[in-house]
Amino acid sequence: MHILVTNDDGVQAPGLLALAQAVRDLGTVTVFAPDRNWSASGHVKTMDRPLRARQVTLSDGSPALTTDGAPSDSVALALLGVVKEKIDLVLSGINPHENIGHDVTYSGTVTAAMEAVIGGVPGIAVSLNSPEEHLDPLDYSTAARVARRVAQKALAGGLPEGVLLNVNVPYLKDDEIKGYAVTRQGLRLYRDELDARKDPRGKPYYWIGGDFPTGVIEEGTDFGALKAGYVSITPLQLDLTAREAMERLRKWEW
């Protein structure tokens, strides 16, 4: 088994190392991740400039590849041949914050797993529902063990074609986790606010600010599972068709 590990926080992020270390005994692990943070940068295919790929060393001394492209570019480059050996599974993470509800199309962690599926390889995104405020460093050990378990299941059972898994792990110790819940994508409530400022020359600039997003706590959703202390496993697809809306639109007189 050959597992590609990537993320959207950059190749030296502790969550990536925790993930890579957790799955090393499942097969060959290749780490290939962006050289900088790409959070909330979406699903990217870089075609207007060439991309670099170079070797780096992770903090445990193991080798990794890094690129100046986006998380999804890392996956595309690996699958297109920068990594010579066939890849059986792409793991993306561990993101320090959860990726639930509408986060999934923004998230570099999730879109890297989307890119895997488009390339015909199973993809799993793993994110940690860490508290908004915490004393560094975050403890990724539970999430890493969860990721290993989900990866094992996916390698053994096979993922449905065209489906990626979006895994979110509560910030709890192993024995505090209530279990695993297969969930649907919930509803995010963003609380973005415009923070308009003036630069030293009096010209306006804008931060997208506001409070950390919340979500609708509902049973059966990613958000509900996390709140109840469960690992949330949401199968996602790349067909966004709103089927229920089709009939209504057909009634419009075209």
d(CA 34, CA 251): 47
45-64: which residues touch a copy of itself (CB under 8 A)? 45-48, 50-53
Pick one of 24, 27, 40, 176: the residue that binds a copy of itself (CB under 8 A).
Answer: 40
Query: Tokens for 244?
Result: 């229920």
Closest Cα to residue 168, out of 65, 115, 97?
Answer: 97
d(CA 234, CA 69): 27
Closest distance between a copy of itself and the C-beta of residue 108, in Å? 9
76 touching a copy of itself, by CB under 8 A = yes
Closest distance between a copy of itself and the C-beta of residue 60, in Å? 26
DSSP state of 122: -
Closest distance between a copy of itself and the C-beta of residue 235, in Å? 4
82-111: which residues touch a copy of itself (CB under 8 A)? 82, 102, 104-106, 111
d(CA 239, CA 29): 30
Closest distance between a copy of itself and the C-beta of residue 27, in Å? 19
Strand, helix or coil for residue 181: strand
Closest distance between a copy of itself and the C-beta of residue 165, in Å? 8
- By beta-carbon proximity to a copy of itself, the closer residue of 43 and 148 is 43
- By beta-carbon proximity to a copy of itself, the closer residue of 61 and 202 is 202
Binding mask 177-216 for a copy of itself (x = CB under 8 A): --xx-x-xx----x-xxx-xx-----xxxxxx--------
140-159: which residues touch a copy of itself (CB under 8 A)? 153, 157, 159
d(CA 242, CA 189): 20
- By beta-carbon proximity to a copy of itself, the closer residue of 50 and 61 is 50
Burial 92-130 (b: 16+ CB within 10 A, else e): bbbbbbbbbbbbbebbbbbbbbbbbbbbebbbbbbbbbb
224-243: which residues touch a copy of itself (CB under 8 A)? 233-243
159-178: which residues touch a copy of itself (CB under 8 A)? 159-160, 162-163, 165
Q: Are 97 and 214 in contact (CB under 8 A)?
A: no
Residue with tokens 């909330």: 40
Q: Are 226 and 100 in contact (CB under 8 A)?
A: yes
Mark the segment that binds a copy of itself (CB under 8 A) among 14-22, 75-83, 89-97, 123-131.
Answer: 75-83
